[in-house]
Structure 1
Amino acid sequence: MTDERHHRHPDSPSARYGSPVGGDHLLFLAEALRTFHDTGALAPSGPELVNALVVPVTSRPNRPISVLEVGAGTGVVTRRLARVLRTGDRLHVVEANPRFAERLREDPVLAARHPGVGLRLSACRVEELPECRPPAPEGALPEGALPEGSAQRYDVIVSGLPFTNFEPPQVRDLLDLYLRLLAPGGELTYFGYLGTTTARTLTAGPRRGARHRSVVRLLRRFEEAYGLGERTVWRNMPPARAHLLRAPGGRETWTPAGNPAVEPAGGAAPVAR
């Protein structure tokens, strides 16, 4: 990774919760109880959900690709990506939770990735990426950075953010940002848990239930505009639905109001993978 190397602190996640892989559930649960709004779950994604989220990478074009993972958590998806990426590929991992970011820095699977795969970790929110890039040595650029005025574009974005925990304007801004970060024709995956609208209304009251429904409607409009398909993963805790979407080929179709302006490129109906 491009972060500075450091010795393990006695209070680091690996020291407190065990090995980077074995302690995932304990660390995830601890952080979920402490900051559920940003974590959005009580356990990491299961293997079948992970497989659904990395479909754009496992069914990829035959050329190097650039992948952005947002909200990596303890790294269950990150490790899967590290295993399937090839020489020349780049993986940029964004994780705002400092304890999760520390776990990722210590992860042995990521450290043992193929030497031809570039890996960068940004310990910030995805909205803060420009401010989060490390300072470059004089006359050089940090790994993954582009000259001023350029924009980093990704072939694949995998989002683990809990959209339904956020306010609708924040979700709209994130979806718009993902479209700007994707290369033309790039693909995006994210997921949501099943049954959350009813549960949120019953447990948090009508006001939060209404906010939750507004976010769901916003996501549905986005999926109607760009969706390629979805997969329901019943063998996850809790059951979840993964969504696969594709950015248009150089055309802006997602407006700030959250309404599609034109049909997705090609006008094809969504196809489940």
Structure 2
Amino acid sequence: MTTEQLHASPDSLPQQHSSYDPHPPHDRHGSPHGGDHLLFLAEALRTFHDTGALAPSGPALVNALVVPATSRPNRPISVLEVGAGTGVVTRRLAQVLRPGDRLHVVEANPRFADRLREDPVLAARRPGVGLRLSTCRVEELPEAAAGPEDGGGNERYDVIVSGLPFTNFEPALVRDILDLYLRLLTPGGELTYFGYLGTTTARTLTSGPRRGARHRAVVRLLRRFEATYGLGERTVWRNLPPARAHLLRAPGPYA
């Protein structure tokens, strides 16, 4: 995985199969169901704290987030997606993964999880690509425990793609989730997540000083995490709203 690949345009992302269309028909219209944007908006208005946006990520941001799954070793890999929403990233992952790969999708919102279970793109994934869906928060997974003595599993992931709205959370929770991601990654495994541009100013102006201070504390925590583990970032101006995708790597050599 190189920083150049993170900054690559959507049409120049590595393609593992000659049949891979970086803009498949379902994605060109945003959803194989035609109602994902309406569902996303309804859930955002109902539970904005957990959804964190008013629309699914656009194609350019999706491409930036799935880069680690397209630049990979020549062996099966295990991918964890956290906060899948209506599945725009999930569908892209299902298209680029190879037989023998495993995709574990974690989505706490039961309405989004039901939509993912019905998704025809996921159902039509390549034979041999394993898919598991957990309707819970990532910290509730059995493998999230510190170790086998605490009831945790041995599952580890080569790639984690996080869609969680970190700046909506308390700093302590964000720290716990980031630490969990590091525990769940294999040595040298890679993590991507994103944040929207301009949110610090907007939160301060619209939410008052207390929420503004919490927001700034989360941003400082993320910047420290990125300074320690970051490989690069990509600003996606064509997303609504514009966003910045971050690529990070867990310590250790990648097998």
User: Same fold, TM exceeding 0.5?
Assistant: yes
Instruction: Specify the alignment match of 2:161 in structure 1.
Output: 158
Work out whether residues 143 and 153 of structure 2, in 8 Å CA contact, stay in contact via their aligned partners in 1.
no
Does the C-alpha gap of structure 1 residues 37 and 77 become closer, same or farther in structure 2, counting only changes over 3 Å? same
Matched, 1:34 2:37: no
Instruction: Specify the alignment match of 2:5 in structure 1.
Output: none
Instruction: Specify the alignment match of 1:116 in structure 2.
Output: 128
Work out whether residues 192 and 242 of structure 1, in 8 Å CA contact, stay in contact via their aligned partners in 2.
yes
Work out whether residues 20 and 103 of structure 1, in 8 Å CA contact, stay in contact via their aligned partners in 2.
no
Residue 237 of structure 1 and its aligned partner are, at CA, apart by: 0.3
Measured against aligned partners, the alpha-carbon deviations of 1:235-262 in whole angstroms (never above 9, x if no partner) come to: 0000000000000017xxxxxxxxxxxx
Instruction: Specify the alignment match of 1:197 in structure 2.
Output: 200
Does the C-alpha gap of structure 1 residues 210 and 185 become closer, same or farther in structure 2, counting only changes over 3 Å? same
Residue 61 of structure 1 and its aligned partner are, at CA, apart by: 1.2
Q: How does 1:217-256 map to 2 (within 5 A)?
A: 217-249=220-252
Q: Name the amino acid aligned to 2:235.
A: T
Work out whether residues 142 and 152 of structure 2, in 8 Å CA contact, stay in contact via their aligned partners in 1.
no
Work out whether residues 70 and 157 of structure 1, in 8 Å CA contact, stay in contact via their aligned partners in 2.
yes
Does the C-alpha gap of structure 1 residues 47 and 153 become closer, same or farther in structure 2, counting only changes over 3 Å? same
Instruction: Specify the alignment match of 2:21 in structure 1.
Output: none
Residue 44 of structure 1 and its aligned partner are, at CA, apart by: 0.0
Q: Distance in 2 between matches of 1:68 and 1:174?
A: 13
Q: Distance in 2 between matches of 1:55 and 1:121?
A: 21
Q: Distance in 2 between matches of 1:175 and 1:149?
A: 17
In the superposition, the TM-score normalised over structure 1's length comes to 0.78
Residue 21 of structure 1 and its aligned partner are, at CA, apart by: 3.1
Greater CA radius of gyration, 1 or 2?
Answer: 1
Gaps of 5+ in 2: 1-30, 145-150
**Of 60, 65, 71, which residue of structure 2 is paired with 1:53?**
65
Secondary structure of the structure 2 residue equivalent to 1:44: coil
Residue 20 of structure 1 and its aligned partner are, at CA, apart by: 5.1
Secondary structure of the structure 2 residue equivalent to 1:83: helix
Q: Name the amino acid aligned to 2:164.
A: L
Q: How many residues were matched structurally?
A: 218
Q: Distance in 1 between matches of 2:32 and 2:188?
A: 35
Write out the 4+ residue segments of structure 1 that deviate beyond 4 Å after TM superposition.
none
Q: How does 1:1-273 map to 2 (within 5 A)?
A: 21-130=33-142, 150-249=153-252
Work out whether residues 234 and 246 of structure 2, in 8 Å CA contact, stay in contact via their aligned partners in 1.
yes
Aligned-residue sequence identity (percent) comes to: 89
Q: Name the amino acid aligned to 2:142.
A: P
Q: Name the amino acid aligned to 2:218.
A: V
Q: Name the amino acid aligned to 1:69.
A: E
Q: Distance in 1 between matches of 2:33 and 2:198?
A: 29
In the superposition, the TM-score normalised over structure 2's length comes to 0.83
Hey, which of these two has a bigger chunk of helix by percent? Answer: 2
